[in-house]
Amino acid sequence: MPQEIIEVPITGKILSVNVKPGDKVKEGDILCILESMKMENPILAPVDGTISQVVVNADQVVSPGETIATIEH
């Protein structure tokens, strides 16, 4: 199954993680909320699929390029 790896786009802090492994997601669903530049930014699923892995936790500080989650589609 093809995989899509969702990466952190910008330095910030994960406020909440909205999915867990095994969840089915649709394109545009919110995977997690990333706080950056004093703004809450949702990170969205780019494809329909199933979450196979979630790497980040709430309150974690993340840098660009780190993996947030993997979606199988």
Please report, as ranges, the residues that interact with another protein according to CB under 8 A: 7, 9-10, 27-28, 36-39, 41-46, 64-65
Closest approach of Cβ 42 to another protein, in Å?
7
By beta-carbon proximity to another protein, the closer residue of 4 and 60 is 4
Question: What gap in Å lies between CA 2 and CA 49, rounded to an integer?
Answer: 10
Closest approach of Cβ 26 to another protein, in Å?
10
**Whether 32 contacts 38, CB under 8 Å:** no
Question: What gap in Å lies between CA 67 and CA 7, rounded to an integer?
Answer: 4
Closest approach of Cβ 20 to another protein, in Å?
19
